[in-house]
Structure 1
């Protein structure tokens, strides 16, 4: 009976410490909210939270992320339909903006990639689209990157996987 009070205090202290220390893995960033409002971004290593006041709201990988952009039909300047399939490579550069800048930055980047690709291909004739893949890739990256900075995302490159001409 004489050890019950110190034992309870010890158990509470262990629970408190286990809830306060969080280890963020390398190449990750976690967004901390304090009482429901953005407080800070937790960097790799040991981080301390105030239990019941702080919480980890979002977890982001800072690695390069490949994103398969769905295949789509684009119409060239000479009114020919062309099926285009591509991959977008991007990286989260600002975890706070990635968390709060868009409801879903992955969907936003995908939609913008599709729209930009249709716009770029629409300015070229069918023959030029096969010859100027690098130009198309660069123009798509430039168009996406401008808007994606507000979402905390940096577009690294876009690669056309497949250009399928009409049958």
Structure 2
């Protein structure tokens, strides 16, 4: 199988976010265990010295054994941790947070579960859509463990199981939709993934808070085609708007034509207004014949007629 094809089936989890809580709590737990061991060892040695008047090999051995048993009995869990306790291989209880006790040898702390919200990144490369277009999709999953017992006893590695379930759900969702639908309807894809994952991981004591698609990468050839399609759609909308504007103008001109047909003076005034607007911005000069002013005598009066005639003569 080619390297690129193998890569398409890989999950890309953010491993650092999965175990930060467990690693952060180890130092405190280790220090507490050391303190319990030292205190227990010293107490047993002191008791042996008081009873026998000295410290022998037997006293040291007893002190070591009892200190080890005391260390195995006393535990501490951080605020965000739940500890699954098994008794002789069977589930007994979930302890924590804080200080708790177990019976040495008989009970074991099987798993420390971080109950905080976890972030897992996953993706699917070259996944075929319903119209056979390969897509590269990356998403983020927010989830947390609400039932430590189910997470410990129902699935072997719940973190890995959630990652694989998320990737499978993403590939299935992409395969049921077309490329354009996947690229445009991200929110619908998020809801579909969340619903599918909730049904899958609920028996494992896990709750899916949200799924967010980050990147959808289309093939370059398809990007160019979709760009041309979008440009054609915009041109279509622009032409429709222009035609609607021309239709409105035509209706307005029709009304204006009826008005000017009934009033010759208004038509001549409109002609003068258009002539003025044509030279107002540029500051040009328009030369008109003197007979042009004769049509405004009945509108502007004799004085204005003389002025227009004199201006035209110049």
TM-score, normalised by the number of residues in structure 2: 0.50
Q: CA deviation at 1:123?
A: 2.2
Over the aligned positions, Cα root-mean-square deviation in angstroms equals 2.0
- Report the counterpart of residue 35 of structure 1 in structure 2: 88
Structure number having the greater strand percentage: 1
Correspondent of 2:172 among 109, 114, 119 = 119
Alpha-carbon distance in 2 for matches of 1:78, 1:133: 17
Paired residue secondary structure (2:169)? helix
CA deviation profile, 1:105-141 (whole Å, cap 9, x unmatched): 1222122111211221222221221221111011101
Unaligned runs of 5+ in 2: 1-51, 221-314
105-114 or 89-98, which moves further after superposition? 105-114
| Mapped partners of 1:122, 1:11: distance in 2 | 63
Aligned length: 167
Q: Is 2:202 the counterpart of 1:152?
A: no
* In 2: Cα distance, 1:64 partner to 1:55 partner: 26
CA distance in 1, matches of 2:77, 2:197: 30
From the two aligned structures, give the one with the greater helix fraction. 2
**The one of 87, 90, 99 aligned to 2:140:** 87
Q: How far is the alpha carbon of 1:72 from its aligned partner?
A: 2.4
Higher relative contact order (Cα pairs below 8 Å, separated by 6+ residues): 1
Partner residue, 1:48: 101
What CA distance in whole angstroms lies between the structure 1 residues aligned with 2:164 and 2:63?
53
